[in-house]
Amino acid sequence: MKIVTVVGARPQFIKAAVVSRALAGHRQHVKEVLVHTGQHYDANMSDVFFNELDIPRPAYHLGIGGGPHGQNTGRMIESIEIVLLSEKPDWMLVYGDTDSTLAGALAASKLHIPVAHVEAGLRSYNRRMPEEINRVLTDHLASLLLVPSEGAKDNLRSEGIIGSKVRVAGDVMYDAALYYREKARRPATEALDALGDNGFALCTIHRAENTDDNGRLQGILTGLAALPTAVILPLHPRTRSRMAAAGIHFPDNVRVIDPVGYLEMVWLEANCRMVLTDSGGVQKEAYFHGKPCITLRDETEWVELVEIGANRIVGTSSVAIGQAYEQMLACEISGAVQPYGKGHAADLVIEALLEGHPVKSGARTAVSVDD
């Protein structure tokens, strides 16, 4: 069985690392061909992940990134189609909700190649988010939907997607948290050195709805300024430059550092007092490492964490951020309730792929554009 896996962004590298490592135990029966679209294309956002997570180097690097969503997705579809016509895989495997995810699913479905979607069924119900469009369309194209939770399965049921094609596998990010916890390393940065033994909060901001809206961004920074602790903020240099051009300044208690690799991010998550983020993946990682989380958005896909009290949604109100910080500090995040599986999601993903092997079930494999 041959699987083409498409990745393009940081969270997908982590998820792919977990599943690829598990696939290595099936080398006699399974060949994986890794395709990197280039959606995250600089060294700190991409290359470092392959180095530290022991991901095999991509067989194909498409070098597509930096453009608007439509341009990126269209170019990716064109290039992925060429790969699929050459490789003739039995499965297309995609992760999450990026432009790379949708491009892989569209290219494969046009060639009658079954699509397996890891992290299917998530919904924010905010169609202004590109990620929401990507995940909804990919789910409706997929032949195998590997959901991280029962709630995600319920979301699909409400859209008429039911039956054996939907499998509750758990979250491969939980697998990653367990595996890489002991490999984490402290970032080598003066910002941390200057704190000594004092604690810190960890903040990440990357969504366009926040970084491209000066009002929302200023609300977040004003909220951070009021916190009674230092805040470590890994921030991409392009975002930092845009903020400088807009005249937006960082509060004195916010220590801005360059983006970090995954193992360094794990260390920050495991050693901070609290996480404040607009990232879906970081919300989960905070819980996996026993830290309370404040979500700097108006909604979340990971509703289970809100329901169990580990996460609070505050938007970008500076007042709400400060209030939530004081309240969440008192929370004990035990991890006793684990809505995302038992840390064996990758094995369940592979089991589902093998059981649904298209060659066994009689599904077609692409041979030409006109097939």
CATH architecture of the domain formed by 188-329: 3-Layer(aba) Sandwich (3.40)
pLDDT value for 358: 56
Beta-carbon contacts of residue 112 (< 8 Å; ≥ 6 apart)? 363, 364, 365, 366, 371
Smallest Cα–Cα separation from 100: which of 144, 64, 136?
64
The pLDDT tens digits for 321-348 are 999 999 999 888 877 788 999 999 999 9
CA–CA gap between residue 323 and residue 319 (Å, rounded):
6
Output the average pLDDT for the chain.
90
CA–CA gap between residue 36 and residue 46 (Å, rounded):
9
Quick check: 363 pLDDT over 50?
Answer: no
**Edge-to-edge order in the sheet of strand 311-313:** 254-257, 230-234, 200-204, 274-277, 293-295, 311-313
Six-digit token string for 142: 């997929």
Lowest mean pLDDT among 44-58, 125-139, 191-205, 251-265: 44-58
Q: Work out the average pLDDT over 177-206.
A: 91
pLDDT value for 48: 65
Q: Are strands 31-36 and 2-7 parallel, antiparallel or unpaired?
A: parallel
Catalytic residue among 61, 69, 140, 206: 206
Domains 2-171+341-361 and 188-329 share a fold: yes
Output the CA–CA distances (angstroms, integers) from residue 350 to 4, 136, 353, in the order listed: 13, 23, 5
Quick check: 11 pLDDT over 50?
Answer: yes
208 exposed, middle or buried (CB, 10 Å; 0-12, 13-18, 19+)?
Answer: exposed
pLDDT value for 226: 96
To the nearest 10°, the Cα dihedral for 114, 119, 122, 128? -80
Percent of the chain with pLDDT over 70: 93
Query: Could you tell me the end-to-end alpha-carbon distance of the chain, in angstroms, rounded to an integer?
Result: 21
Percent of the chain with pLDDT over 90: 74
Structure-model confidence comparison of residues 49 and 229, the more confident one: 229
Name the residue type at position 108: A
Six-digit token string for 259: 């983006």
Is residue 44 within 8 Å of residue 261, measured between CB atoms? yes
Quick check: 369 pLDDT over 70?
Answer: no
Q: How confident is the model at residue 370 (pLDDT cuts 50, 70, 90)?
A: very low
Smallest Cα–Cα separation from 36: which of 63, 75, 3?
63
Smallest Cα–Cα separation from 176: which of 17, 294, 57, 317?
17
Residue spans per domain, the chain: 2-171+341-361, 188-329
Lowest mean pLDDT among 26-40, 42-56, 269-283, 297-311: 42-56
- 140 among known catalytic residues: no
Quick check: 266 pLDDT over 50?
Answer: yes
CA–CA gap between residue 237 and residue 5 (Å, rounded):
29
Q: Work out the average pLDDT over 66-92.
A: 95
CA–CA gap between residue 153 and residue 132 (Å, rounded):
16
| Assigned fold of 2-171+341-361 | Rossmann fold (3.40.50)
Beta-carbon contacts of residue 120 (< 8 Å; ≥ 6 apart)? 135, 138, 139, 142, 145, 146, 147, 152, 156, 166
Q: How confident is the model at residue 311 (pLDDT cuts 50, 70, 90)?
A: very high
Beta-carbon contacts of residue 42 (< 8 Å; ≥ 6 apart)? none
Q: How confident is the model at residue 267 (pLDDT cuts 50, 70, 90)?
A: very high
